[in-house]
Amino acid sequence: MSTATPPKAIDGTIGFADERFGTAGFLRGKMKKVFPDHWSFMLGEIALYSFIILLATGTFLTLWFKPSMGEVIYHGSYTKLDGVNMSEAYDSTLRISFDVRGGLLMRQIHHWAAVLFLASIMVHMLRVFFTGSYRKPREVNWLIGLGLFTLGILEGLFGYSLPDDLLSGTGLRITQGVMQSIPVVGTYIFYFAFGGGFPGHDFISRLYTVHVLLIPGILLALVGAHFMILWHQGHTQFSGKNRTEKNVIGKPFFPVFMIKAGAFFMFTFAVTALLGTFAQINPIWLFGPYTPDSITAGSQPDFYMGFLEGALRIMPNWETNLWGHTIPWNVLVPALLPLGLIMTGAALWPFIEQWATGDKKIHNLADRPRNAPFRTAVGMTAVTFYGMLWLAGGNDILADKFHVSLYATTWFFRGAVFVGPVIAYVVTKRLCVGLQRSDAAELHHGVEAGVITMLPSGEFVEMHQPVKEDAEAVLRGKQELPAIEDAGEDANGIPAPSSRGPLGKARKALNNAFTADDISIGNGHGNGHGNGHGEHPEAGTGDHKELSRG
């Protein structure tokens, strides 16, 4: 400990705070907190910074926006709409765009930041999933993240619905149609939400409160919890030299990570400002005010709504009419099933994995996706399912750009939404196994040195070299996937009680799925779970000769 004293301003402040809150003791342990370094760890940061940008620009917009469906006649700067009947919401959005200095810029930054917010959350979630970073002790933070994602989608939808232009009104009309189709209570939900028929006079002002107060409040609380849990539990790190489950290697929070994070925030702000400057987004003045009997062709929602839109488009027109009641599967299934499937699956996954593998250990080392083939393959299955629905949401654009029949694209996606995920599963799994084998081979035979040697027999071979230390640490970081004990059978071939019954069998089957394609990097004895890839040199055939194909 040095005896240095910081400048009086800092010393005085800390002194003031310390005598009242014990600040120094609290901060002492925090200042040198280590955050491990990896490019993929910045993805969540982008989401955080976009959120801050959203709060700042959103507050600016509230100063002029009038969340009212009251009708006015426009007489603003945009002469093409002069004298047109419109809602105050649309009128004030036009005024923000054309009559408030910097208003258009803030609107566009706000919208771009919303897009970036959801995009970065998605990629961040994929990183967390594919590296197994949701495992104990981080399951709760994973669930909070899913909550943030779902609320973020809703917040985005509500946000672009507020200006009451033709495009946003069409989005609301679809939302209303979906509401109305909910069995038993649908019409009541619709009438309560809209204060009567569609579009009514209440919805925009109600939406506004939800958009600027309720959801942001919840988001802020969840973001706070997400970040505090992260801070408390520490960030995961990838395996590497000196890195273990029990330590963390990196630069200290103060000063390195703090300034780095600050720089990154500025980069995020610069990117959204750049997009807000040059990339036009949601030019509401081109769409005109909303009327329920107008529409433009090629209407597209924001990208994060695309998968729901796609699901609505490709669903066959099934509807059940029974005893005077209508159950419109053609609306209910696409509106609820894809989101429900993906979110429920994602929420349950950490617990399913724990149950199937019996792995209750604390994990601070992130997996490489290849080392968990089942998880990675299931993840890619979900990604493909989502991706196909998302593409289907733009089938009219695809049909137009690629000059194919619109109906053909619909039929294509009706098939692809089922076939694509299966292909993704199989291909991903094969890729993972292949990569694992190549890792194992690298560990045991080394890497090609680029040096060709002639053997006494006249044969040419390439020299192999042991993997470098750092790289080896990465390869050795692979964790054996735990098979649950085959509590299986006793001496008489009677299965143990725990593995009987449908649940026990399901668990065993899942466990097999998790462990089946695990290529051991074990010391010297490859256990090749034989997948018919015999042509490849099996991992660890024992001898550590330098020439693998001698």
Partner 1 sequence: MTDNNETNGAPSDEEGRAPKRVIGTPPPPPTHDLLPDDTGGAEGTGGYQLDEKKARAAERAAGAFFVLTFVAGIAFIVFYAVWPGHVGNINRATSSNYALGISLTLAFLGLAVGMTIWVRHLMTSKEIIQERHELSSPPEDRQVFNEYFQQGVQESGITQRRFLRRTLLLASAPLGLLPLVLLRDLGPLPEKKLRHTAWKNGTRLVVDGTGQPLKASDFNSPGGIITVVPEGAQNNLDDIAKAAVLLINLPPDQMKVKKGRENWHVGGIVAYSKICTHVGCPAALYEQTTHHILCPCHQSTFDALDSAKVIFGPAARPLPQLPIGVNSEGYLVATSDFHEPIGPSFWERGKSKV
| Piece in contact with partner 1 (CB under 8 A), picked from 116-124, 189-197, 375-383, 496-504 | 189-197
Q: Are 57 and 216 in contact (CB under 8 A)?
A: no
CB atoms within 10 A of CB 166: 20
Amino acid at 281: I
Query: Which listed residue (8, 20, 246, 401) binds partner 1 by CB under 8 A?
Result: 246
Report the run of H or E that residue 238 belongs to, with start and end.
strand 237-238
**Residue 354 binding partner 1, by CB under 8 A:** no
Please give the residues from 317 up to 346 whose contact with partner 1 meets the rule CB under 8 A.
317-319, 321, 324-328, 330-331, 334
**Any bridge partners for residue 71, and if so which?**
87
**Residue 398 binding partner 1, by CB under 8 A:** no
Please give the residues from 4 up to 23 whose contact with partner 1 meets the rule CB under 8 A.
none
Question: What pairing do the DSSP bridges indicate for beta strands 85-87 and 71-73?
Answer: antiparallel
CA angle 548, 549, 550 (to 5 degrees): 95
Rounded to a whole number of angstroms, the minimum distance from the CB of residue 444 to partner 1 is 14
Query: Which listed residue (19, 82, 448, 489) binds partner 1 by CB under 8 A?
Result: 448
Distance CA 65, CA 80 (A): 21
Distance CA 123, CA 117 (A): 10
Rounded to a whole number of angstroms, the minimum distance from the CB of residue 464 to partner 1 is 11
**Residue 198 binding partner 1, by CB under 8 A:** yes
Query: Which listed residue (15, 70, 102, 524) binds partner 1 by CB under 8 A?
Result: 102
Query: Which listed residue (156, 159, 163, 186) binds partner 1 by CB under 8 A?
Result: 186
Query: Which listed residue (14, 17, 55, 105) binds partner 1 by CB under 8 A?
Result: 105
Q: Are 483 and 508 in contact (CB under 8 A)?
A: no
DSSP 98-139: HTSTTHHHHHHHHHHHHHHHHHHHHHHHHHHHHTTTTSTT-H
Query: Which listed residue (89, 104, 377, 432) binds partner 1 by CB under 8 A?
Result: 104
CA atoms within 13 A on the CB side of 415: 5
Q: Are 118 and 304 in contact (CB under 8 A)?
A: yes
Residue 441: strand, helix, or coil? helix
Tokens of 157: 């939808």
Query: Which listed residue (52, 55, 72, 99) binds partner 1 by CB under 8 A?
Result: 99
**Residue 368 binding partner 1, by CB under 8 A:** yes
DSSP 307-348: HHHHHHHHS----EEETTEEE-HHHHHHHHHHHHHHHHHHHH
Query: Which listed residue (18, 139, 202, 462) binds partner 1 by CB under 8 A?
Result: 202
In total, the chain counts a number of residues equal to 550
**Residue 461 binding partner 1, by CB under 8 A:** no
Q: Are 395 and 279 in contact (CB under 8 A)?
A: no
**Residue 242 binding partner 1, by CB under 8 A:** yes
DSSP 447-489: EEEEEEEE-TTS-EEEEEEPPPHHHHHHHHTPPPPPPPP---B
**Residue 285 binding partner 1, by CB under 8 A:** yes
Query: Which listed residue (406, 408, 427, 455) binds partner 1 by CB under 8 A?
Result: 406
Rounded to a whole number of angstroms, the minimum distance from the CB of residue 89 to partner 1 is 13
Please give the residues from 488 up to 547 whose contact with partner 1 meets the rule CB under 8 A.
none
Report the run of H or E that residue 424 belongs to, with start and end.
helix 406-445
312 versus 391: smaller Cβ distance to partner 1: 312
Q: Which residue has the tokens 């989401």?
A: 47
Rounded to a whole number of angstroms, the minimum distance from the CB of residue 507 to partner 1 is 26
| Piece in contact with partner 1 (CB under 8 A), picked from 73-81, 140-148, 504-512, 530-538 | 73-81
Rounded to a whole number of angstroms, the minimum distance from the CB of residue 79 to partner 1 is 7
**Residue 84 binding partner 1, by CB under 8 A:** no
| Piece in contact with partner 1 (CB under 8 A), picked from 6-14, 112-120, 259-267, 375-383 | 259-267
| Piece in contact with partner 1 (CB under 8 A), picked from 18-26, 150-158, 260-268, 536-544 | 260-268
| Piece in contact with partner 1 (CB under 8 A), picked from 118-126, 173-181, 424-432, 482-490 | 173-181
Query: Which listed residue (225, 347, 352, 474) binds partner 1 by CB under 8 A?
Result: 474
1 versus 491: smaller Cβ distance to partner 1: 1
What's the N-to-C CA distance of the chain in angstroms?
A: 59
Rounded to a whole number of angstroms, the minimum distance from the CB of residue 102 to partner 1 is 5
DSSP-assigned letter for residue 535 = T
Rounded to a whole number of angstroms, the minimum distance from the CB of residue 454 to partner 1 is 20
- Site size with partner 1, rule: CB under 8 A: 131
Residue 85: strand, helix, or coil? strand
